[in-house]
Amino acid sequence: MKKEKVLLGMSGGIDSSMSAWYLQNMGYEVIGITFNTISNSLTDHTPQFIAEAQTLAAQLNIEHHVLDVYNQFKKEVIDYFVDEYLKGRTPNPCIRCNETIKWKLLLEESQRLQCTKISTGHYVNITEKEGFYHIQKGKDPSKDQSYFLWNLPQSILSRCIFPLGSFLKSEVKDKAAKLGFQSIVKKRESMGVCFLQGQDYRSYINDMRPELKNKLKNGEVWNSTGNKIGTHDGFPYYTIGQKRGINLQADHGEYVAKIDAANNRLITAPKNTLFTKHLMIHTYLTSNPSFLQGPQQVDLRIRGLDAVPPTPGTIELIDKELHIHFSNPVWALTPGQSIVFYQDNIVVGGGIVDNMEFNAGNESL
């Protein structure tokens, strides 16, 4: 009997490598693929993560492909990342990559290689609800990556399988050790934005746009009443809610409240004024297109990698604008970041924060 084929995105790390093993044991024929997003020349040398993915594929006796997508990645993700900061926004490159590079190409390559399923090493599950597929939080709350997958369309979700969603990370590491995969067990886990390679994003922007450093330094800092209270090193190096790194004439207890990119100016305000109770967004997606036919009670997650729990709230579509109401005010919402909507730990949709105003002070701070 011919096995069903699944295309697995492989990064050379423990999660995608162990996904290959689990998928094999679930009865699938696994084909691995690794995207080169880091090196602008594969002819000179093979990046370490690609070599590690090739080694693991050989150990598991699975077919493996390398796809050079550096130019596409630079255009769609790296340039977007830099340009968003230069607009005074805070981007999420992982979510952008999922939409424009990673999952788009996984779907295209799965069709080319005649695979019926697509897989990655994310610690999430896939579930069907009312005829539509949704991302669901996995077993391990410390590895929950559902926030970053809100913008996947049904054409992709309908093909997804996530073998690690029912495991804790510690269980996956223990299994890898028992199988003798010591190299991936001992490998340091990568965190943060992949293309930064551990570099601070500010110095990365300087490297990408070296002509801006002198042009942007000594920008003005104004408070919310219109008085100049200090200077800054360049508006792209700050985000909403930041206090450190602002050169104030005195300790005013001020935080960045707005970034005026056109004038290279930061607008600051007291911490207790940086709260939001409601906003409207124009860029959004729901897994079920009819989900927004009326107001919906949801849990709202505004950041993907912190321990802050989701905030209950309501979303309602009014004249093509999605109105979001938080039951409790949230602090330091930032233009460019994503808000993800959950019901019972299932991702029902998400959207991107547009320009907004803080509208809910908190006198207790």
Structure tokens that stand for 195 in this block: 């293309």
Give how far Cα 277 sits from Cα of 204, 269, 273, 326, 362, Å.
34, 17, 11, 5, 11
Q: 11: annotated binding-site residue?
A: yes
336 is in an annotated binding site: no
Q: Is 138 annotated as a binding residue?
A: no
**Is residue 97 flagged as an active site residue?**
yes
**Distance (Å, rounded) from C-alpha 103 to C-alpha 157?**
10
- Strands of the sheet with 160-161, listed across from one edge: 63-68, 29-36, 5-9, 117-119, 160-161
Residue 119 annotated as lining a ligand binding site:
no
Helices (H), 87-180: 93-97, 103-112, 154-157, 169-178
Q: Is the dihedral of CA 136, 141, 144, 150 positive or negative?
A: positive
Measured CA to CA, the distance from residue 192 to residue 350 in angstroms comes to 21
Residue 306 and residue 37: Cα distance in Å, rounded? 26
Q: Shortest CA distance to 260 belongs to which of 238, 287, 241?
A: 238
User: Is residue 26 annotated as involved in ligand binding?
Assistant: no
Residue 166 assigned to a binding site: no
Report the C-alpha gap between 136 and 342 in whole angstroms.
9
Whether 219 has a binding-site annotation, put simply, is no
Name the phi and psi angles at 41, rounded to 5: -155, 110
Q: Is 49 annotated as a binding residue?
A: no
* Residue whose pair of structure tokens reads 């000594």 in the numeric block: 218
At a CB cut-off of 8 Å and minimum separation 6, what does 201 contact? 81, 85, 193
The pair of three-digit structure tokens given for residue 236, joined into one six-digit string: 């792209």
- CA torsion through residues 45, 49, 53, 56, sign: positive
Which of 94, 97, 115, 160 is the catalytic position?
A: 97
Q: What is the four-CA torsion angle of 290, 294, 300, 303, rounded to 10 degrees?
A: 50
Does 14 appear as a known binding residue? yes
Q: How many CA atoms lie within 13 A of 174 on its CB side?
A: 5
For residue 326, the cross-strand partners are 313
Q: Is 79 annotated as a binding residue?
A: no
Active site residues: 97, 194
Bind-site residues for ATP: 9-16, 35, 121
Bind-site residues: 9-16, 35, 121
